[in-house]
Amino acid sequence: MFNLQNKNVVVTGAGSGIGKSVALLFAQQGAIVHVLDVNEKQAGEAVTEITAAGGKASAHIADVSDQKKVLEIFQQIVQPDILVNSAGISHIGKADTTSTEDFDRLFNVNVKGLYNCLYAAIPLMKKNKGGVILNMSSIAAIVGIPDRFAYSMTKGAVSAMTLSVAKDYLADNIRCNCISPARVHTAFVDGFLAKNYPGKEAEMFEKLSKTQPIGRMATPGEIAHLILYLCSDEASFITGCDYPIDGGFTKLNN
């Protein structure tokens, strides 16, 4: 099950966090993984880890908000079978405390960056008679999250773009879905706590973990396994869907 043998897979933001877990897991399933990340060192480390385990991978360095560079990279890949849009950034702030610069920065990466990858990948998938796209949305697109104004805006756009792509390319045998995680324990979380709550990291980590009814944050690996299913042939009847993976956050948090 979930065999990706010799499928060309592009994972954006694959140098760390969820994207890296996806890249490692897909490589274990036989995929040829193209690690696309803005951080050259982290991208290289991910490729090294994959190849050391006997997998196939290559690193591609780009800021997804740079359409020209993204197009160049996808032309090198030629026939992408699967695209996982995992690259993204976050921001803390309300509508009246979010600067124009921060708003534009989040839009450029989380919305325009995703669009750039779609723009580059879809013509190649059409030429290849099909493909699968998985976008990273968030529970912030479903429920109100305090102090996440710009981030929520971008994830709402991701969910809407997912529906549009799924509808527009049905006849081209291209499936498109998104997932909406709640809090996931990544290096970003640890860095956020260290910066904003020095000396109280453990206390705040516990507090944030308890906001999920299940009582903890997700691991990147748990998110990666849902992505693997949705990108596999076993999920061939699924398109235009959003899957919350949130420890009960959106339905049980009352």
Model pLDDT for residues 155-186, shown as the tens digit of each residue: 999 999 999 999 999 999 999 999 999 999 99
pLDDT tens figures, 5-33: 999 999 999 999 999 999 999 999 999 99
Lowest mean pLDDT among 54-63, 114-123, 196-205: 196-205
pTM over 0.75: yes
Cα 50 → chain centroid: 19
Identify the pLDDT of residue 78: 79
What does the pLDDT read at residue 125? 98
Average pLDDT value for residue range 134-151: 96
From 151, 169, 197, 229, active-site residue? 151
Tens digit of pLDDT for each residue in 185-206?
A: 998 889 888 988 999 999 999 9
Q: How would you write the chain as a 3-class SS string?
A: CCCCCCCEEEEECCCCHHHHHHHHHHHHCCCEEEEEECCHHHHHHHHHHHHHCCCEEEEEECCCCCHHHHHHHHHHHCCCCEEEECCCCCCCECCCCCCHHHHHHHHHHHHHHHHHHHHHHHHHHHHCCCEEEEEECCHHHCCCCCCEHHHHHHHHHHHHHHHHHHHHCHHHCEEEEEEEECCECCHHHHHHHHHHCCCCHHHHHHHHHCCCCCCCCECHHHHHHHHHHHHCHHHCCCCCCEEEECCCHHHHCC
CATH number, domain 8-182+218-248: 3.40.50.720
Q: Considering the chain, what is the average pLDDT of its residues? A: 96
Q: In angstroms, rounded to a whole number, what is the distance separating the alpha carbons of residues 114 and 112?
A: 5
The two structure tokens encoding residue 188: 């970003």
Over residues 26-37, the pLDDT tens digits come to 999 999 999 999
Active site residue 229: no
Residue 254's pLDDT band, with cuts at 50, 70 and 90, is: low
Domain ranges of the chain: 8-182+218-248
